[in-house]
């Protein structure tokens, strides 16, 4: 008997697909309203969050000077690492059909964007990238802004939820993307705090 890992992978996706389909259908159909239909599609767009990134850049560079620029570099490295791992490696190895590409599932969904990405559904690169950044922000900025740093995870969760809501990712893709992103953020955040030093407003 020849072991074929491809068959095992296919069996796994077939096993979780009913639960994934049920949940994405409820999020997309039953748990939606006119407000979410209007607002959430914008949450997944990069330009929506440009003011946030500019604010963080100004905040850290004005308060921490050179260390602030190192923080900015760390944030870029975190985002780049997340993109490489998700888009360039995992998606090339794990080819899962997106819900908007699945003829059976797509008939049960409402769509709020004008295209369906052709890349693999696993993992959600939006989830990986934003949870990686959220964890990096949390670990490096928590000494400065305190408990409010938890809001970064809320921000990432909104973006991940939106990917499900608009029909481009199954919940499992987003969940695993969030876990991977948090792992990346822990790595880069702890490395920054160790190599560059903890940020502090204390003079």
Domain extent for 120:
29-195
pTM, 2 dp: 0.92
**Residue 97 domain-assigned (yes or no):** yes
**Residue 139 domain-assigned (yes or no):** yes
**Residue 19 domain-assigned (yes or no):** no
- Look at 202 and 200; give whichever has higher pLDDT: 200
Closest-CA residue to 22 (of 177, 171, 168, 161)? 171
Reported as a single tens digit per residue, the pLDDT across 124-159 is 999 999 999 999 999 999 999 999 999 999 999 999
Q: Which two tokens stand for residue 77?
A: 């490295």
CATH number reported for the structural domain that contains residue 112 in this entry = 1.10.606.20
What gap in Å lies between CA 136 and CA 120, rounded to an integer?
26
Q: Are 164 and 174 in contact (CB under 8 A)?
A: yes
Binned at pLDDT 50, 70 and 90, residue 7 comes out as low
**Residue 157 domain-assigned (yes or no):** yes
**Residue 78 domain-assigned (yes or no):** yes
**Residue 6 domain-assigned (yes or no):** no
What gap in Å lies between CA 16 and CA 32, rounded to an integer?
23
What's the structural domain count of the chain? 1
**Residue 185 domain-assigned (yes or no):** yes
Q: What is the pLDDT of residue 12?
A: 85
**Residue 136 domain-assigned (yes or no):** yes
Q: Are 59 and 72 in contact (CB under 8 A)?
A: no
Instruction: Using the predicted structure, report yes or no on whether residue 101 has a pLDDT greater than 70.
Output: yes
Binned at pLDDT 50, 70 and 90, residue 113 comes out as confident
């Amino acid at each position: 008997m020849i072991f074929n890992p491809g068959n095992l992978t296919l069996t796994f996706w077939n096993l979780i697909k009913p639960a994934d389909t049920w949940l994405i259908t409820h999020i997309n159909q039953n748990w939606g309203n006119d407000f979410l239909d209007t607002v959430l599609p914008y949450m997944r767009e990069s330009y929506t969050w440009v003011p946030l990134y500019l604010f963080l850049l100004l905040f850290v560079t004005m308060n921490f000077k050179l260390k602030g620029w190192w923080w900015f570099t760390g944030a870029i490295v975190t985002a780049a690492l997340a993109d490489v791992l998700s888009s360039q490696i995992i998606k090339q190895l794990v080819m899962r059909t997106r819900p908007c590409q699945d003829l059976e599932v797509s008939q049960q969904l409402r769509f709020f964007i004008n295209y369906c990405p052709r890349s693999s559904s696993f993992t959600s690169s939006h989830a990986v990238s934003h949870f990686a950044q959220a964890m990096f922000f949390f670990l490096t900025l928590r000494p400065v802004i305190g408990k409010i740093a938890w809001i970064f995870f809320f921000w990432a969760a909104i973006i991940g939820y939106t990917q499900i809501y608009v029909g481009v990712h199954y919940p499992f893709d987003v969940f695993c993307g969030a876990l991977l992103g948090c792992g990346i953020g822990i790595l880069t955040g702890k490395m920054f705090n160790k190599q560059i030093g903890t940020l502090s407003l204390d003079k």
